[in-house]
Each structure stands twice: as C-alpha cells, then as structure tokens.
Structure 1
Amino acid sequence: MPVPPALEPYVASLVSYDVTLPGPGTHRGLPSTALTFVLPVDEPLDVAWAGDPGSRTVAWSSVSGLHTAPAVIRHTGTQRGVQVALTPLGARALLGLPAADLAGRLLTLDDLGRLAPTLRHLPERLAGTPAGDREALVATVLTALTDRLRRGDPVELRPELGRALALLTRGVPVAATADDVGYSRRHLGTLVRAETGLSPKKLHRLGRFERSRSLLGRRPLAEVAVRCGYADQAHLAREWRDLAGCPPSTWIAEELPFVQDLPAAQEGS
C-alpha cells in the first residue's frame, strides 16, 4: 500500500505478501538501505544470516538492522505476512533506538522489550486480521506511534545528516555527498556510523546495489552497470557476489523466473 504521509519520514515501504510455492525451500534476503521489520502470518519466520547458523531466529516477528550480507529464509512453501522497510529515522521513532544499535543483527520484538511495547501485540492482532486488511492494521498502529511523537519530543536528524543519508542511499558517491552537505569525509563518516552502524562507503554500496536490483530483468546487465555507477559489468557481478552471495543471473533465475525468456537479462552473467 502507499505509505501514509504521516509515516513517510520513517517508513520506506509497507507490503503485504502472500506467496505459495510448490514445496519447501529457501528465499534469499538481500541487503538494503532500509531496516527490515517482518510480521509473518500462519507460521513463524525462520531466518539467519547466510553462513552463520548461530544467528538463526524462528519467531512471529523479525527486525533486522542494516547489513552487507544476505539472509536465508527457510519456508514450507507458503509465505504470508507484512514487511515494513524502516528508515534510520524510523528505527529511532518506531523502535526506540538508533539504527546503529541494530546493524548486522537479527532480533525479534521480544528482544526489543520495553523499547517497542506498542508493537509487541501486533503479531497476535495480525493473525486474526483478514488478508486484505493486514497492511492497514500495521499502518494504523505505526501511525499512532508517530502521533505520540508529535505530541511529545519529536524525533529528528540534523538536516545535513538527513540529506547525506538520502544521497548515499541513492548511490551518490561519498566524496560528492560530503561536498554537498559541507562536511569533511571524516566528519561525515563519524556521523553516519553513529546513526546507521555502517560507514558512508558501505551505505553508498548498498544504495548502488539496491538500484541495480530494481533494474535487473528490465535492462541488459551491461546497461545496468553503467546506469548504477559500476565501472563495468564485471564490477557489477563482483558486487552482487559479495552482497547477495550470487551473481545477478542467479538472482534473476530465483526471483524473476519470467525474465529468463529475455536474452538481454541473461547476457554475460
């Protein structure tokens, strides 16, 4: 659903998902410029960082901070629920702590404890809500939280930092971002790490990667590389292996099977 205006500073997207596959399997959760808040329905979410079985959680809620490695989601063939992409400001406003405290972590609402008391009963409420109304329920609960913020002390970022985060997540290079907001690269790095838990360079990488993901299957890989600021197609492929754990063509085959008939989408992978 469209993000309600009251939530726009805090929520990048709010999506209800309902997927039925032929049988059990795994889904690749890719790094993003947003924190991920998932509320599964019918069965708990089984997720871990790829290659790190000790990080595995199986629960009715999942909160993952910014990260530069893929996650592995195990499923029985059916995946239903609501997924919310939170901005760094949204972490402060809705979860009660800076995104830096969540970087590289997989948590549940129970782990957050007193920091998110209004959200703790949301999984139970969602389970009893018809599929068509789930997004609206989550949006209503999150909007109520922001209403309380407006009545109390507002949660804000200094304007220069907010602009810097926006530029980096759009894939603008670090030096250009620092020049735009009038910070030295060192000072920019200090502020961005304190807020997000990632360096400006890593956030820029995520922004460029995220943009490339939106173009895969729609444009030839060489064109995607140029449009997203990679040196060449080989550079794009290396970044995908590093951040996604697979080359672009593998992700296309896994997630976008209908584009396998488009030769341009498969070139040179």
Structure 2
Amino acid sequence: MQQLTRPPSPGLRPYVRLLWAWAPESALAERPGTREHVLPTGGMHLVFRLSGPPLKLFSGTEDAQGQTFGHAIVGGTRAAFYLRDISVATRSVGAQLQPGAARLLLDAPEGALAGQHTPLDALWGTGQANAALEQLHAANSPESQLRVFEALLATRIAVSLRAGLHGLHPAVASALGTLDRDSPSIAALVARSGYSHRRFIALFHADTGLAPKEYARVRRFDRVLTLAGDPRLGWADIALAAGYSDQAHLSRDFSALAGMPAQAWRQKGSPSPRHVPAAAGQIRSRR
C-alpha cells in the first residue's frame, strides 16, 4: 500500500488540515467480510474513491448488510468510532478539514453533517461531484491526484470567499486554540467568548460538529493515540500525560471512543492508529 500524506499549501491551511492519497498494491486479494474500526479525529473528511466499490459502513457488529454512500463522500465529525468495509482495497484521495471549512467547501456547517456520512452529490450536485471525480481519475499517480485535489479545494474556497462567505467564527477559533493547549472549563470558555451559554454552544457545534465537551474529549483521545505509539510508555503514564484523572478513566474513554480496549488496540500494531482491523469475533453473520 502506497500512502502519501502531507499538509496543504499555506493558503489552504486555515481550511484543510491534511491531504492524503492511498494506492493499494495491484496484487492484493479480496478479503470478504473484513471490516475496520475508524477512530474519531475531531474533524470532517472529504474523500474520493477512485477504484473498487462505493464506501460501505455498518451501524454495529450485528449489522450484516451495511449502507453504501457512493464514491465521493463527506465524513462528518464524530465523537466515536464507526465500522467500515475493507474487503476490497481501493485507491482514494482525501482531506481532513479544519473546523469551519465546511461552509466554504460544502455549503453547509459542520453541525449539519456531524455524526454521519453524506454523499458529496447531495451537497455539490451530481454534475460538480462527477466532474471532480473525472479530474481525479485522469491523474495517473498519487502525487498528481493530490495536486489536482488541492487545486479543486483551493478553487472552491476562493469562489466562496469572493461570494462573502466566512469560515470559523472568531469566538470558536479562540476557544479551539485554548482547548488544544489546556483543559479549561466550559464556563470559562463561555465567559471569555462574551456570548450566552446557549449561543456559544450553538456557534461551537455549528463550526465543529461537536459540543465543546465532546470536542475536548476527542482531542484528549488524540493525545493518547500519539503517546501510545511509544511502547515504552505504560498506560498510567499515558493517562497522566494526556490529561485523564487516572488509568481507569482512560480505559473507559478509550473503549467508548475506539470500540475496543486500549491494550487490544495496542496489540494490533496497526500501521495507521485510527484504522484498526475489527476482530473476527466482532463480525456477526446472519446467514
């Protein structure tokens, strides 16, 4: 599997956190019934599948049928894992978006798209979504696909800005900077914003797709995934460094957000910490 990841050009960085392209080895065989846990990032994703079947997701381990979403998809912000079909390796290109970017790129706030996947043609229209797919198909390497994709995003953002649209609300931008540095109380964030509690929560959810407490929880979980990549660190040390009250607190949160215990996640040793194969025993068949 060839995987390219890189930050966008400086002009796109207020709106796009990361760009990536995946290209599987042509010899990879199909693996019927194989699924993976996709762990939350605290952000939205825009993905174009350039080979294989459309994206299929499952509502839980008992779901044998799943739901398909097409080849151009928006993954809304989530506060927990979801299950994805990976029985066929696919070529794809995608972006993790910054909070507030959805209005400029997708004509909808994050809050309207959170907790779900949405076919891109429902937001851009079938013509524009198909045209973008065709341009990406015409690119003959992951590197060129990323260049084409980045240009598509830059053009759409430029058009939105010229039309007078705005991205992240200043009060939310200030709160996000604080949340990424430390763990303030929600009351402190509200007081600093100058808005009422209800108004601040509404602004925050619209721009991120999560309530402030949920967002802080996912970002703390993100710190765990980074720290846990070092096998020399024990879970008690990780819990303390990431901001949990104790190891038991980390364990409860990890299982809720990842759908598996922390030690089970670590033992899998997945190359991508947010894409973890589901255990065979977790997949139920209704045949």
Same fold (TM over 0.5): yes
TM-superposed deviation, 1:177: 3.4
Matching residue within 18, 36, 45 for 1:27: 36
In the TM superposition, 1:55-204 aligns within 5 A as 56-114=67-125, 118-131=128-141, 132-168=143-179, 172-175=183-186, 176-182=188-194, 185-204=197-216
Instruction: Please say which of residues 64-73 and 22-31 is displaced more in the overlay.
Output: 22-31
Write the letter of the residue equivalent to 1:29.
Answer: V
Q: 2:242 maps to which residue? A: 228
How far apart, in 2, do the equivalents of 1:71 and 1:101 lie?
A: 18
1:185–1:19 distance in 2 versus 1, CA, 3 Å: farther
How far apart, in 2, do the equivalents of 1:177 and 1:153 lie?
A: 28
TM-superposed deviation, 1:80: 2.3
Percent of residue pairs bearing the same amino acid type:
30
1:215 is the counterpart of 2:227: yes
1:255–1:107 distance in 2 versus 1, CA, 3 Å: farther
Cα RMSD, aligned residues only: 2.8
TM-superposed deviation, 1:129: 1.5
TM-superposed deviation, 1:171: 6.0
How far apart, in 2, do the equivalents of 1:159 and 1:258 lie?
A: 33
Q: Point out 4+ residue stretches in structure 1 off by more than 6 angstroms.
A: none
Query: Which protein has greater RCO, CA pairs closer than 8 Å, 6+ apart?
Result: 2
SS of aligned partner of 1:79: coil
1:172, 1:204 within 8 Å by CA — same for their partners in 2? yes
1:157–1:76 distance in 2 versus 1, CA, 3 Å: closer
TM-score by length of 2: 0.78
Q: What count of residue pairs does the alignment treat as equivalent?
A: 258
Instruction: Please say which of residues 8-17 and 158-167 is displaced more in the overlay.
Output: 158-167
2:72, 2:129 within 8 Å by CA — same for their partners in 1? no
CA displacement 1:154-193 (0-9 Å, x = unmatched): 4133312222134335663443534554556554323223
Structure 2's unaligned 5+ residue stretches are 1-5, 274-287
CA displacement 1:28-70 (0-9 Å, x = unmatched): 2111211011112211343325418486224212211111221
In the TM superposition, 1:34-45 aligns within 5 A as 34-45=43-54
